[in-house]
Homo-oligomer: A and B are copies of this chain.
C-alpha cells in the first residue's frame, strides 16, 4: 500500500516541487495538501502545470486528519513551521523544509532569526537533513530538518575537504550565484521580471545571510574548532540553480582526491575530472550535484565549484530523498530523472 503523504504549504514553489516529484513515486500517494490563503482552490488553479494530476484540493491545516497520514512534508515559512509542527501528532514522521529546525542551539536560532524558538523539544529531536552526511540518523529520525539551499551547496563543496584536512580553515570564501526561485513565490519588487531579468546583484553582503548559521554550526562541528567562512549570495536572472564558487587554500589534486573518495558511492554527486567546472544549466530540475576543482595560478590555492538545483537537490528533492530513507524506500526512488536541458 502506498505511503500516505501530506504536503503543508503546497501553494509555494517547494510545495509544488514536492508534488512534481512525488507524482512519479510508485509507493507514495498525496492525500492532503494545505495552503492557507488558497484553501479551497484546486492545484490546477494554483499551479496549472499540475493540472493532469488527480490531487486533493488545498485545505487549511486544521482540516487535515493526520491519523491518516504516514509522512508530512512541511513547506511553510519559518516561525510558522515550528508552531505547526509543535502541535502535530507526536508519532507523525515529518520533514520540515523551513529553517526552523536546522540550528541545534536555540541561542543561535534566535541570533539568526530574531525570535525565540517556540518548539524546543522538537528542535532537540530534529536531525539535520543533509542526506549524504546524516544518512543513518535520517533513516531513524521522526523529524528531519531540511537544509538551507545555499547551506547544502556550500557543504557539498567543503565538508569532504574539512574532514580530510586538505584545506586551510581561516580564509574560506563562498561566492554564491542563486536563481530567483530560492526567494519563493513572494511578491517583492526586486523579484519582478522587469526588475530582475538582464541584470544581477549581490545581497546580504558581509555575513548577514541566515544560512551562515548552518555553515558555522556544521563546519565548526566537523573541524572540531570554530570555523567562520565568508559568504556572499548573488541574485541571478534564472529561475533555478545555485553555483558556488569557493576559494580555498590547499592543493587542487588533494582536494580532488578528497571529493572522489567522499562521493564515490553517492548516486547524486558527480565529481568532474580535475580542471573541469560545472554549470547550473546541467543540473536543472534534477537531484544531481556537479562538483569541479581547479588549481589557481597562485601556488597553494584552489577553486571549488559546485552546481545544483535549489528547488530539487537544494530543497524538495533532498526532502524526498530523506523521506525515502525514513519510509524504507529505495533512496533514489522518483529522483533519477535527468536534468532538463535546454
Binding site for B on A (CB under 8 A): 13, 16, 19-20, 23-24, 47-53, 171, 173, 175, 177, 180-181, 185, 187-189, 191-203, 205-208, 212, 228, 230, 232, 234, 236-241, 243, 245, 247, 268, 270, 272, 275, 277-286, 288, 290, 292, 294-298, 301-303, 305, 307, 336-342
Cα separation A307 to B49 with both chains bound (whole Å)? 11
* Option from B13, B199, B268, B297 in Cβ contact (under 8 Å) with A238: B199
Cα separation A195 to B282 with both chains bound (whole Å)? 10
* Option from B195, B283, B339 in Cβ contact (under 8 Å) with A281: B195
A206 proximity list for chain B (CB < 8 A): 275, 294-297, 302-303
If A171-B171, A175-B247, A196-B281 are given as contacts, then 14 extra A-B residue pairs at C-beta distance below 8 Å, sorted by A number, are: A16-B341, A48-B279, A49-B282, A187-B187, A191-B193, A192-B193, A197-B239, A197-B342, A198-B239, A201-B279, A205-B303, A208-B297, A240-B342, A340-B340
A51 proximity list for chain B (CB < 8 A): 270, 272, 282, 288, 290
A180 touches B205 (CB 8 A): no
A236 proximity list for chain B (CB < 8 A): 177, 200, 236-237
Nearest CB of chain B from residue A301's CB, rounded to whole Å: 7
A230 proximity list for chain B (CB < 8 A): 247, 296, 298, 301, 303
A290 proximity list for chain B (CB < 8 A): 48, 51
B173 touches A234 (CB 8 A): no
A245 touches B234 (CB 8 A): yes
B200 touches A49 (CB 8 A): no
Cα separation A303 to B199 with both chains bound (whole Å)? 20
Nearest CB of chain B from residue A281's CB, rounded to whole Å: 3
Cα separation A238 to B234 with both chains bound (whole Å)? 14
